Chain A
Amino acid sequence: MNPDSPVTEGGVANAAAGTTAVPALQIEEVHAAYDRVEVLRGVNLTVGAGQVFALLGPNGAGKSTTLRTVGGRMKPLKGRILVDGKDVTGKPPEQLARNGICSVPEGRGVFPSLTVAENLRMWTFKGGLRRSEVEEAAYARFPRLAERRKQLAGTLSGGEQQMLAMSRALSTHPRLLLLDEISMGLAPLIVAELYDLVGQIANEGFAILLVEQFAATALGVAERAAIMVQGKIEMEGTPDEVGAAAGELYLGSGAK
C-alpha cells in the first residue's frame, strides 16, 4: 500500500463522486455478533474515494459496531471489507491503523493518563511523520491544545478531548477516517467548530465515514448518507433524501 495515494486519488474523486474510481471503502454483506447475539445482519455500504458518508440511525442500530468491524476491533462472522479495493477483512486493528485507517472511537479518543503532548506522540506511530510536525499541526489548528500540552488528557474538557482526538485524524493523513459521534455530549458551538473541521478534512480529499445522532449537522457536510436500523441499511441516498426519510424511519430522534 502506498501511503501517499489517497491524497491524489481523493482530489480526483471529489470532483466526480460516484465515478469508476476505486471506492475508499466497500462493506459487503457483513454480519457481526457479540457473543451469539447478531448485531450486524448483512450490511452493504460503499464510501466513494474522497467521499464524506454519514451513517445515521437509532440507538443500538449497530452503527458503532459497523465502525468497529471496519477498524478491525471486531471480526465479522461473514462478508468482506475492502479498503481501496483491497480485502482487509479480519486484519488486526494495529495493522489497519498503520495502513491509514484512522478511527476516532465513540466517546473517548484519547489516553486519559497521558499528557496532551504524549497523546499526540502516540499518533506518530504510522511512521514517516515527525513528532514535531504532528504537534505543530495540532497546535496550529487548536491553539488551546498548545496551552495545555503538559496537562493530562483525562483532565481536558470534553470538547478539548475531542479536538485532541481530531488532531490525530488530521495529522496522520489517513486514507479513511472513521468518526463515531464526535458531537456526543458537546455544546452546539463546539460541535459546529468540529464539523467545520470535518468539512476542511473533506476538502483535503480524505474519505470519511461518520456516524451521528445529530442528523442535521452530519448531513450538512456529507455527500452521501444512509440510515441503519437493526443491523441493516434501511435506506441510502443523498443527504436531502435521507434527511427527509429520517423522521419516518426512526421517529424524530435528531432529525430536525
Chain B
Amino acid sequence: MNEFISLTVAGIATYGCVYALTAMGLVVTYTTSGIFNFAQGAIGMIGAFFFYELSRVWHIPSLLSLIIAVFIFAPLIGALLERLVMRRLENAALEAKLTVTIALLLLGIALATAIWNPQTVRNLPSFFNGHQVSVGGVNLTYQQVIVVLAAILAAVLLRLFFIYTRAGIATRAVVDDRDLAALTGASPARFAQLGWAMGCALAALAGILIAPQNGALDITNLTLLVVNGYAAAMVGRLRSLPLTFAGAIVLGVLYSYALGYLPSTLVWNDFANITPMIFLLLVILVLPQSRAVLSRRIMVRAPRVVGLRESLIAGGALILAGVLFSRLLSGNNLSYANTGVSLGIIMLSLVLLTGYGGQVSLCQFSFAGLGAYAMSKVGGTHGSLLGILAAMGLAGAVGGLVALPSLRLRGLYLALATLAFAQGMDTYFFGNPQFFGVAGSISVARPDLFGFQLSSSRTLLIALTVVFALIATLILTFRRSRFGRRLVAINDSPAACLTVGVDMTRSKLAVFIISAAIAGLGGALYAGAQTQVGPNDFQFILSLTLLLIAVVWGIRTTAGMLFGGIVFSLGPLLGQHLTHPRDAFDLLVGLAAIGVSQNPEGTFGGNTLLQRWRNSREAQPPQAAGALAADSGEERLSHAAG
C-alpha cells in the first residue's frame, strides 16, 4: 500500500507534471501554427543545459537562472524558429512540416553535443537540496512540490490567458479561422510566434524540472524524457489543454507503476521504458479522431507527371551509369555506391507512400530490417530469389498489420503511430538476441538472380541500378494509372473522395503494403551490400533521417531518392575526415532541413532551375486554363470516380 502511494506520488509529481508542461507546450504551438514540434524534447534538453550553465558555471542564483532560461532564452529561441523557419511552412505538406522539426531535433542534439562535451559529468542538484515535507503522511521532496506547483500554475495561467486576455482570445480566433482573424487586423503570424515562444518556454521549464531527478545531465535521455510527453498531447487531441493535463498525469502514473511493479528482468524493463510509446499508440488508436481537419493545404501546383518515355530514358541512363561506375569505382567507394543505391531503393518506398499518398511513415527502416532478416533466414548462403520474395512478403505482411488499425488515422496521427511501432521494433525485435543473435548481427547473402551471382561488388552495383530503375519506372507508371490518380486525389481531398465514393481504406491499405514490401526489398539488398547488419542499422532514428533526406531531395521525385540514398550512404565518410563526424552529419542535416522550409518540394521537386526552365518553355497563356486544370483536383476525381 505504502509502495502504491509513493509510486502514485512519484508518477504525478516526478513524471506526470513534467509531461503536462511539455505537452501543453506542444498543444500551444500546434494550435497556433499547425506544426507538431518534434524538437520539443531537444528544446527542453537545451533549456536544462542552459540552466546548468547559468546556475552552476556562472553561479547566478537558481531562481534568476530559471527566470532567464524559461522566460527569456527559450521564448527567444521559439520566436526565432517561428520567424526564420516555421512561417514559411504554412502551406507545406505534412511531411515537410514534420521533417523540419525532426531536423531541428537532430540539430539541437548536435549543437548540445558540440557545446557541452558529453564526457563531462554535470549534476543539477534538486531545488532546496532535496529537503522534504510531509503532506498527509506522504513524504514529498521540495523538488516534487515545486514541480507540481509549477505545472498547476502554468495550466492556470494558460487558461486565464486564453479566456481573459485579448491576445489569448485573438490566439484562439487565429486557430478558429486564420483568414478571418487576419481580416480583423490580428496578424496570424504574430500569434504563431507567440505560440512558439510559449511552447518553447514550457519545454524548457519541463527540462529544467526533470533534469535533477535523473542523475547526471544526459543529452539523449533528457530529450527522450521530454518526448514522452507527446502521448499526453494526443489525449487532448492537440487541442484541449485540460484533457492534455489529465492525460499527462495518467501517463506519468502508469509509467511510474510500470517502473515500480514490473519485474526487473531485461524484457520487462524494456517494456516499462516504452510504456509512454505504448500509451501513445493506444491513445491514437482508441480515442475518436478529432474533427476532420481536412487538408488545409492549398494545391500549389499539380506535381509534374513524368511520362513513360522519359522514365525509360532516365532508367536506361542510370543503368549505363551503373555499368560505368562499376568499372570506375573500387574498394570503399564501390561499397558506398552499393549502399547508396540500395538506400535509394528503400527511399523509393516513401515516394509511393508519402510523396503520392500523403501518408507519413516513420518506420520504413523497421520494414527494411524485416526484409534483411527474412533474406538472411530464407535466402540461405547464396541469396536465392526465394529470400528476396520472403523479404518483400514479410515486410509487406507486417506493413499490412501496422496499417490496418491505423488506416482511419490521418496525417500526423499515423506518423506518430508508426513512430511508436518503430520504437517497439527497436526494443523487441532488433534488440532481441533471439532474432539478431547474441553478437547482435546477422549475415545476409547477396542475391543470386537467375543464375547471376552478385557476390562481386561490381556486378552488384549494376544489378542495384537495374532494380532501382525498374522500381522507379513502375512507381512512375503507377502514378499515371487510374489507381495512381486516385491515390493523389485522396491525398488532395479526402472529403471530396468520400463524396464521389472512392474507397479510401482499400487504396490506403494497398499502398501501405506495397510500400512496406519495397522497403523490405531495399532492406534485403542493403543488408546484402553490407553482408553483415546489426540492430543499429535499423534504429527508428534512421527512419526519421530517411524521411528527412527524402524530403530534402524531393519526396515526389524518384531521381531525388537516388541522390538522397547516395548522400545518406556517404554519411560515414565524414567520419574519416572529421573529429566529430556524427555532429557534422546532424548539423548538415539540420541545415538542409531549414532549406526545406524555403523549398518544401525538395531539391528535385518544385522550384528547381530545371523546373523553371521547363515552365518557361511550356509557358502558356493563362486563358488556356482548361488544359492546365486537366491534372488538378476535379479532373482527377472524375477519373477516380469513373
Contacts and interface: CB of A to CB of B under 8 A. Distances in A.
A149 interface: no
B628 A126 contact: no
A105 B180 contact: yes
A121 interface: yes
B625 A94 contact: no
A248 interface: no
B179 interface: yes
Range of interface residues on chain B? 20 to 34
Given A36-B625, A112-B176, A114-B176, A121 B169 contact: yes
B630 to A, nearest CB: 11
Given A38-B622, A38-B623, A73 B173 contact: no
A37 B172 contact: no
A122 B187 CA distance: 12
Contact of A109 (B180, B301, B629): B180
Interface in B307-323: none
A53 interface: no
Interface in B355-394: none
A90 to B, nearest CB: 14
Interface residues of A, number: 33
A70 B98 CA distance: 34
Secondary structure dominating the interface of A: mixed
B184 A35 contact: no
Contact of A111 (B173, B182, B302): B173
A73 B184 CA distance: 12
B166 interface: yes
B629 A71 contact: no
B412 interface: no
Contacts of A103: 183
A37 B183 contact: no
B187 A92 contact: yes
A113 B176 contact: yes
Interface in B398-453: none
B177 interface: yes
B622 A37 contact: yes
Interface in B145-199: 166, 169-170, 172-173, 176-177, 179-188
B179 A73 contact: yes
Contacts, number: 84
A108 B181 CA distance: 12
Contact of B184 (A38, A72, A125): A125
Contact of B183 (A71, A118, A131): A71
Contacts of A125: 166, 170, 184-186
Contacts of A38: 622-623, 625
Interface string A71-102: 11100000000000000000011100110001
Interface in B281-303: 299-302
Given A73-B183, A94-B185, A36 B169 contact: no
B498 to A, nearest CB: 21
A92 B182 contact: yes
B632 interface: yes
Contact of B185 (A114, A118, A126): A126
Contacts of B185: 94, 97-98, 125-126
B299 A35 contact: yes
A71 B629 CA distance: 26
Contacts of B170: 122, 125
A5 B185 CA distance: 19
Nearest to A71: B183
A122 B179 contact: no
Nearest to B187: A94
A94 B186 CA distance: 6
A175 interface: no
A92 B177 CA distance: 16
Contact of B177 (A33, A37, A97, A111): A111
Which 5 pairs from chain A and chain B are nearest by CB?
Answer: A97-B185, A38-B622, A93-B182, A125-B185, A37-B625
Interface of A: 33, 35-38, 41, 71-73, 92-94, 97-98, 102-103, 105, 108-114, 118, 121-126, 131, 168
Given A94-B183, A114-B169, A114-B176, 7 more contacts: A36-B622, A94-B185, A97-B183, A105-B179, A108-B180, A111-B173, A125-B170
26 contacts: A33-B622, A37-B622, A38-B625, A72-B182, A92-B182, A92-B187, A93-B179, A94-B182, A94-B186, A94-B187, A102-B183, A103-B183, A105-B179, A105-B183, A110-B180, A111-B173, A111-B177, A111-B180, A113-B172, A113-B176, A114-B176, A122-B173, A125-B170, A125-B184, A126-B185, A131-B166
